[in-house]
Structure 1
Amino acid sequence: MRNPTVADAEAIAALMADCFTATFGSLYDPADLASFLDALTVERWRAELADPAFAFLLAEDDGAAVGFAKLGPHALPVTPAGAMIELRQLYLRGSQQGSGLAARMMDWVIATARARGAGELFLSVYVDNHRARRFYERYGFEEIGIYTFMVGNHADEDHLMRLAL
């Protein structure tokens, strides 16, 4: 695992598209899925990788990108009690699930959030992604509300979750 650079934008973009499609692609009309993924441009990834408001972790296996995590500033419809940060994405290829890599990534997420002075860590997770929700609950995240997550023109219901740091 390492902190990626702007040069890793293409690998992260491809990993995001692959993981999102593998996990959720069957839920959407192809046009909605394409619209969502097309908005995640390599240029956008480069800008976020260069922006100190974001923190990234890239997980690799034999030099190939297999997962990533991204922390970012307040964007979800939550009212923090103080300093906060959001887990914007945590994706891992299916071949790596159950390997312990997700736990090591989450340890980095929490440590990085604390190191940046956050007292709260927020995320959203698709209501029917029970595996991810159980994973976050093991770390002490609690549901605090519902959030509408748009994929193209399709509205999904996500659980908003919070972890007090």
Structure 2
Amino acid sequence: MTAPLIRPARADDAPALSALGRATFVETFVEGFAIPYPPQDLEPFLDAAFGVETTAASLADPAGAWWVAEVDGAVVAFATTGPNSLPHPDGRPSHAELKRLYVGKSTQGLGLGTKLLALALDWMDRHGDGPQWIGVWSGNLKAQKLYAAYGFEKAGEYDYPVGNWRDHEFILRRG
């Protein structure tokens, strides 16, 4: 295995990012946390959230930013940021939000998530005009601990739709 390369994402990364996002969501929430999403909710959600067209449109949006980690030429992790969209009364679109920080199961433990988070936080410092925001599943204690180490604190809760299923999420804020 070659040393990981972290770089800004490119438009031609959309298929790899789509596949990695879908696989990591399933590995983390379906297999890892054993959330029993009904198939009629999960499949349309995965198609909408991680479709190649959706990913390509997000990559092309100048209001946000994406970074990828590659190992041996394959995209194995990513982070994406953009205007805040979390449902908190103090949140504004002019604030920055970490939208996703995903590390594929096979490359967890290499420090890629921490490196990607540092890039995302730097971007958020430069592009937001207020607090920084993250939505995290209420049962993902490992992620909550990581974000707390960077100064994020619980500021609220909401239900994140996966089809008709609702995941109970925490809204974290820094600043």
Give, as a single letter, the amino acid of the residue that structure 1 aligns with 2:15.
E
Give, as a single letter, the amino acid of the residue that structure 2 aligns with 1:37.
L
What is the aligned partner in structure 2 of residue 80 from structure 1?
A: 91
Q: Say if 2:83 and 2:94, in contact at 8 Å, map to a contact too.
A: no
What is the aligned partner in structure 2 of residue 10 from structure 1?
A: 15
What is the aligned partner in structure 2 of residue 48 from structure 1?
A: 58
Give the unaligned 5+ runs of structure 1: none
Give, as a single letter, the amino acid of the residue that structure 1 aligns with 2:86.
L
Question: TM-score if structure 1 supplies the norm length?
Answer: 0.93
CA distance in structure 2 between the partners assigned to 1:52 and 1:80 by the alignment: 20
Match of 1:29 among 33, 38, 43: 38
Match of 1:59 among 63, 69, 77: 69
* SS of equivalent residue, structure 1 residue 150: strand
Give, as a single letter, the amino acid of the residue that structure 2 aligns with 1:163.
R
Give, as a single letter, the amino acid of the residue that structure 2 aligns with 1:10.
P
CA distance in structure 2 between the partners assigned to 1:15 and 1:52 by the alignment: 22
Offset at residue 29 of structure 1 (A): 1.6
What is the aligned partner in structure 2 of residue 39 from structure 1?
A: 48
Aligned length: 164
What is the aligned partner in structure 1 of residue 124 from structure 2?
A: 113
Offset at residue 95 of structure 1 (A): 2.1
Give the unaligned 5+ runs of structure 2: 1-5
Match of 1:101 among 112, 115, 128: 112
CA distance in structure 2 between the partners assigned to 1:120 and 1:101 by the alignment: 24
**How many percent identity over aligned positions?**
39
Gap change, CA 1:48 and 1:82, over 3 Å in 2? closer
